[in-house]
């Protein structure tokens, strides 16, 4: 039909248009988004560890979830896809049964919502309460600042909601430092 239109237009002396749109055919709905494919490819190249169940390290779920996306920048949906890809055995069975429920409650779940569901399952409430108290009492003590920083990072997930802002987090961290280090920070007004 387009060719017939062009022939009629030429017969009438109309100039031939310079541009004829050539739209690509629509993509089938089951084809994965190209950017997600690229993220998964990069993710697999990083050879991230998998997670199957809690081992001897009680903070393993926190460390796994923290380490999995330190290098790779991606959307919340892509993080959830990648994390789900790394779940095995008991954890994979948990995700299979939880994913649909999470998506009913949150049609487009965020990474924070995924982590909340993950931690609720892999950290008992009594353990979370114990770690929250440990976080509240955390100080540098006689150790190095780097050791204190690592403990702070490990336990921060268990911090009460009112301490989650960056300002409160920084204030709590500074209060836990040795007094002489805290005094230097106060003088420098960092």
Q: What is the pLDDT of residues 39-64, one digit of tens each?
A: 888 888 888 888 887 777 777 888 88
Q: Is residue 34 part of a domain?
A: no
Q: Is residue 102 part of a domain?
A: yes
Q: Is residue 15 part of a domain?
A: no
- Return the exposure string of 8-28: e unless at least 16 CB atoms fall within 10 Å of the residue's CB, then b: eeeeeeeeeeeeeeeeeeeee
115/62 same-domain check: yes
140/180 same-domain check: yes
Q: Is residue 8 part of a domain?
A: no
Mean predicted lDDT score pLDDT of the chain: 80
CB 39 within 8 Å of CB 48? no
pLDDT of residue 62: 80
Which residue reads 């190209």 in tokens? 34
65/103 same-domain check: yes
Q: Find the largest Cα–Cα distance for the chain.
A: 93
Q: Is the pLDDT of residue 70 over 80?
A: no
Q: How many domains does the chain fold into? A: 2
User: Is the full-model pTM beyond 0.75?
Assistant: no
Looking at the chain, the whole-number percentage of residues with pLDDT higher than 70 is 79
Q: Is residue 86 part of a domain?
A: yes
Q: Is the pLDDT of residue 112 over 60?
A: yes
Which bin fits 47, alpha (ψ -120 to 50), beta or left (φ > 0)? left
112/145 same-domain check: no
Q: Is the pLDDT of residue 23 over 60?
A: no
Q: What is the pLDDT of residues 133-168, one digit of tens each?
A: 999 999 998 999 999 999 998 888 888 888 888 889
User: Could you tell me the pLDDT band of residue 15, with boundaries at 50, 70 and 90?
Assistant: low
- Domain of 180 in residue numbering reads as 127-188
107/132 same-domain check: no
Q: Is residue 77 part of a domain?
A: yes
75/99 same-domain check: yes
81/118 same-domain check: yes
């Amino acid at each position: 039909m387009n060719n017939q239109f062009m022939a009629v237009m030429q017969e009438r002396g109309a100039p031939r248009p310079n541009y004829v749109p050539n739209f690509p055919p629509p993509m089938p709905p089951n084809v994965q988004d190209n950017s997600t494919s690229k993220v998964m490819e990069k993710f697999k190249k990083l050879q991230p560890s998998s997670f199957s169940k809690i081992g001897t390290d009680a903070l393993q779920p926190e460390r796994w979830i923290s380490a999995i996306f330190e290098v790779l920048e991606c959307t919340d949906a892509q993080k959830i896809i990648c994390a789900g890809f790394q779940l095995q055995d008991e954890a994979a069975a948990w995700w299979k049964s939880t994913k649909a429920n999470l998506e009913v409650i949150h049609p487009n779940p965020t990474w924070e919502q995924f982590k909340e569901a993950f931690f609720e399952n892999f950290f008992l409430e009594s353990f979370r309460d114990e770690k929250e108290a440990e976080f509240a009492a955390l100080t540098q003590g006689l150790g190095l600042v780097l050791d204190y920083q690592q403990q702070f990072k490990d336990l921060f997930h268990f911090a009460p909601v009112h301490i989650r802002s960056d300002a409160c987090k920084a204030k709590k961290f500074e209060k836990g430092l040795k007094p002489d280090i805290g005094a230097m920070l106060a003088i420098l007004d960092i």
